[in-house]
C-alpha cells in the first residue's frame, strides 16, 4: 500500500474517532417515532429559480457528486462508510446514516441552487431523523433503530440549511420549517441561556457541557425565538467559544466547556473539531487573525495534521480530506481566496483519479473500497462553499 492510500485509510479511522468523541451517550433507542414532515412540495419549474442561478460546477465537484449519488447513497441518505458492516458498533459504521450527512447534503444543495434536490433531501431527512425532541443523530437501517439523542451541531446545520433555502428559493415553507425546528431546538437544547450538546428524547435530559465546535453562531443568531432570549444565548455562546482560544503560539480552540466546573476541558486537540470552531467564528465575522495565519502556514507546507497536544505538538502525521476542506472554507469565509485555493489543492491530493475505480471522483481508500461520508461531504461543501447565513 502506498503512503497516500495509507494516510487516507488512517484518516477514515480518525473520522470514526471523531464520532466517538462528539456523539456521547447515543445508544438509546427512541422507539417508533413518527416524524412530522412539513408540507413542502417541489414544483417542476419554480419561478424563483431565475432569481437564484445555480453555481457553476467544477469538474471535480461534478465527479464527486456523481460518486456520492452512485456509490454512497441509499434510501435513507448517505452511508457513513461505503463498505457495509453489522451496524452494531458504538459509533456509526457501514450503511448507517447520520443527520450530520443529511445536513451537509442539504447545505451543499443550497449552495448550488438546486431547489428540487434540496426538497427531496429535506423530506428524506425529516422521515429518517425527526423525533419529538430533535433530529436523531443516527439511524441504522439494518436494525430499524433511530437513536434517541440529537447532536446540536447537526440540528443547527439542518436549521441553517432551511433558513438559507427559504431565502435563496423564496420558499416560505422552508422558512416556516426553520422557525419551527429552531424553536424546538431552543426548548430542548438550551437551558438558562446556554446550549448543550444533546437532548435525549427518552430520558428528556441533556448532558452537562458544550463541545465548542457545536456552537454555530450564524445559525444561533437567526433562531426564531424572542429577541431577548436570542441575545442572551448568542452572547453566552460567543463568549464561551472565543474564550476557548488556546494561545497565540497554538491558535486553536479548546474541545469543550463544562458548565458545572466552569472550566474548559481538552485532552489532545482534534484538528477537525478546532477547525469547525474556527469556521463558525469566520462565518460570523469573528475569526482570529493569528489562527488564520497559522492555518495558512500549515496548509502551504502540507503539515496540517489530525491531532495535537495543547502545546501545539503534533500527535501524529495524519492528514485528511476533511481538514483541508475546512481550511479552504475558513479561507473563503474570511475573504482569503488564496487560502481557499490552496486548501482545495491540498484536499484534492486525496481524490481518487483512476477512472476504472468504483471510487473515481471520491475520497477514500481505493484498495479497501472504504470511503467515509464526512470526508466526502466536507469536500463537496468546500468546492462551492459560500456563506449561507449573513
Q: What is the pLDDT of residue 24?
A: 35
Return the C-alpha cell found at 1: 500500500
Q: Is residue 390 part of a domain?
A: no
Selection from 348, 354, 376 nearest residue 367 by Cα: 354
Distance, in Å, from the CA atom of 245 to the CA atom of 234, rounded to the nearest integer, reads: 18
Query: Which residues make Cβ contacts (< 8 Å) with residue 187, sequence separation at least 6?
Result: none
Residue 34 half-sphere exposure, CB side, CA atoms within 13 Å?
A: 0
DSSP-assigned letters across all residues of 251-278: --B-SEEETTTTEEE-SSEEHHHHHHHH
Q: Does residue 323 sit in helix, strand or coil?
A: helix
pTM, two decimal places: 0.87
Q: Is residue 255 part of a domain?
A: yes
Q: Does residue 191 sit in helix, strand or coil?
A: strand
Q: Is residue 389 part of a domain?
A: no
Chain centre distance of CA 236: 22
Q: Is residue 10 part of a domain?
A: yes
Inter-residue long-range contacts of 220-225, CB under 8 Å, 24+ positions, other chains counted: 220/156, 220/195, 221/284, 221/389, 222/160, 222/163, 222/182, 222/389, 223/159, 223/182, 223/183, 223/185, 223/186, 224/178, 224/179, 224/182, 224/183, 225/182, 225/183, 225/186
Which residue shows C-alpha cell 486548501?
Answer: 343
Q: What is the pLDDT of residue 388?
A: 62
Q: What is the pLDDT of residue 386?
A: 81
What residues make up the domain containing 91? 3-383
Distance, in Å, from the CA atom of 55 to the CA atom of 260, rounded to the nearest integer, reads: 46
Distance, in Å, from the CA atom of 304 to the CA atom of 72, rounded to the nearest integer, reads: 27
Mean pLDDT by 10 residues, the chain (390 residues): 42 38 36 38 28 52 97 98 96 98 97 96 98 98 97 98 97 98 98 98 97 98 96 98 98 98 97 98 96 98 97 96 98 95 96 97 97 98 78
Q: Is residue 207 part of a domain?
A: yes
| CATH number for 123 | 1.50.10.10
Q: What is the pLDDT of residue 58?
A: 86
Chain centre distance of CA 147: 18
Cα first-last separation, the chain: 45
Q: Is residue 388 part of a domain?
A: no
Number of domains in the chain: 1
Q: Is residue 286 part of a domain?
A: yes
Amino acid at each position: 500500500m502506498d503512503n497516500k492510500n495509507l494516510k487516507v485509510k488512517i484518516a477514515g479511522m480518525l473520522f470514526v474517532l471523531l464520532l466517538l468523541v462528539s456523539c456521547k451517550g447515543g445508544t438509546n433507542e427512541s422507539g417508533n417515532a413518527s416524524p412530522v414532515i412539513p408540507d413542502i412540495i417541489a414544483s417542476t419549474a419554480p419561478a424563483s429559480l431565475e432569481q437564484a442561478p445555480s453555481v457553476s460546477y467544477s469538474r471535480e465537484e461534478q465527479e464527486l457528486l456523481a460518486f456520492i449519488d452512485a456509490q454512497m447513497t441509499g434510501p435513507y441518505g448517505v452511508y457513513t462508510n461505503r463498505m457495509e458492516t453489522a451496524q452494531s458498533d458504538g459509533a456509526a459504521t457501514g450503511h448507517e446514516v447520520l443527520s450530520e450527512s443529511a445536513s451537509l447534503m442539504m447545505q451543499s444543495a443550497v449552495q448550488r441552487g438546486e431547489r428540487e434536490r434540496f426538497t427531496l433531501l429535506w423530506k428524506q431527512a425529516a422521515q429518517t431523523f425527526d423525533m419529538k425532541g430533535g433530529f436523531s443523530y443516527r439511524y441504522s437501517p439494518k436494525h430499524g433503530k433511530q437513536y434517541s439523542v440529537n447532536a446540536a451541531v447537526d440540528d443547527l446545520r439542518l436549521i441553517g440549511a432551511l433558513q438559507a433555502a427559504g431565502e435563496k428559493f423564496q420558499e416560505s415553507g422552508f422558512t416556516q420549517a426553520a422557525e419551527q425546528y429552531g424553536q424546538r431546538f431552543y426548548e430542548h437544547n438550551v437551558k438558562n441561556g446556554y446550549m448543550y450538546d444533546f437532548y435525549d428524547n427518552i430520558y428528556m435530559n441533556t448532558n452537562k457541557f458544550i463541545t465548542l465546535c457545536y456552537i454555530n453562531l450564524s445559525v444561533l443568531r437567526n433562531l426564531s425565538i424572542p429577541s431577548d432570549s436570542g441575545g442572551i444565548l448568542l452572547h453566552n455562546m460567543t463568549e464561551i467559544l472565543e474564550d476557548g482560544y488556546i494561545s497565540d503560539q497554538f491558535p486553536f480552540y479548546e474541545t469543550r466547556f463544562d458548565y458545572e466546573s466552569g472550566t474548559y476541558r481538552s485532552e489532545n486537540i482534534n484538528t477537525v473539531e478546532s477547525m469547525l470552531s474556527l469556521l463558525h467564528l469566520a462565518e460570523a465575522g469573528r475569526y482570529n487573525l493569528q489562527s488564520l495565519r497559522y492555518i495558512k502556514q500549515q496548509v502551504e507546507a502540507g503539515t496540517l495534521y489530525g491531532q495535537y497536544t495543547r502545546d501545539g505538538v503534533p500527535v501524529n502525521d495524519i492528514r485528511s480530506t476533511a481538514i483541508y476542506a475546512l481550511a479552504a472554507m475558513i479561507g473563503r469565509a474570511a475573504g482569503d481566496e488564496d487560502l481557499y485555493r490552496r486548501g482545495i489543492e491540498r484536499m484534492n491530493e486525496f481524490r481518487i483519479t483512476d477512472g476504472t475505480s468504483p471510487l473515481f471522483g471520491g475520497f477514500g481508500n481505493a484498495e479497501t473500497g472504504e470511503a467515509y461520508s464526512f470526508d466526502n461531504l466536507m469536500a463537496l461543501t468546500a468546492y462551492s462553499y459560500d456563506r449561507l447565513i449573513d
